[in-house]
Amino acid sequence: MTSPQNVVIIGGHGHIALRLARLLSPTHSVTSLIRDPSHAADIKETGAHPLLLSLEHNTSHDFTQLFQQKDVDVVVFSAGAGGKGGEERTKRVDYEGAVKIFDAIEAVHGDKKPRLILVSAIDIRHPDLVPPHYNEADKEVSDWLRDKIAAYMQWKYEADKDLVERTAFSWTILRPGTLTHEAGRGTACIGRTHITENISRDDVATVLALLVDRPDAAGLALDLVGGDDPIEQTLDAAIKLGETDWLG
């Protein structure tokens, strides 16, 4: 039985964030941050508490105050520009917005700082460092990603690179593959894996919900794609193995 925690979801109206809030709300206190007041009803429907706070327009200090006032245990960063607004907005949300949250957590007074779970993406790495386990199919997927969504890959990389150097708070990076709206299977492949299989948003939310209760995943970047192993078991195995998938 897990103990109740205070959780804040950044990017609370996203597809994964809404699914995550539904999973967490029965056992945890969940605050989902939104920038559009019309989204509040959707947040309430999940059982979470909506709060208007903009990643783009509010300051790092505003987020620090929130984390302190609510005595937040875990922050889930699930925000992203989603291809809207071009490279400038991708940089502003996926990189600068993420760094704003990193800084906000660091600025929380005292030793008890929120733990961060950052939703990144598969194959986010230094472009010259190719994982040795990649096969030709993996390399084709990687080349396609870097061609079609180059700005996204760049700014996600810059955010992740910033985070892995931080030591003032605990963090975990989840790196899902191509996302689908299909119903979750409850199975996946997590850790050092091939990157050709898609993963449903349902299953990503399930992994995030489990990570909320896994402080022992601190310092790990975990790849997540479709697979045949039960999610809880394969996540547990990846955490116990302790191998990060980050290549900086």
pLDDT of 2 above 80: no
At 195, is the pLDDT very low, low, confident or very high (cuts 50, 70, 90)? Answer: very high
In a domain, 246, yes or no: no
Give the CATH number for residue 12. 3.40.50.720
| Residue 1 counted as domain residue | no
- Bridge pairing between strands 49-52 and 29-34: parallel
The total number of structural domains in the chain stands at: 1
Assess if residue 42 is contained within a domain.
yes
Q: Is residue 247 in a domain?
A: no
Parent domain of 203? 6-241
Per-residue pLDDT averaged across 67-77, rounded? 97
Q: How many helices (H) and strands (E) does the chain have?
A: 9, 10
93 falls within a domain: yes
Q: Is residue 248 in some structural domain?
A: no
Quick one: pLDDT at residue 141?
95
Quote the pTM value: 0.96
Structure tokens at 93: 């949300």
Amino acid 83: pLDDT: 67
Interatomic CA distance for residues 247 and 128, integer angstroms: 10
Please check the confidence at residue 1 and state whether its pLDDT lies above 60. no
Average of pLDDT values for 207-236? 98
List, in sequence order, the alpha helices (H) in 58-149: 60-69, 86-90, 98-106, 136-148
pLDDT of residue 92: 93
pLDDT at 154 over 80: yes
In a domain, 128, yes or no: yes
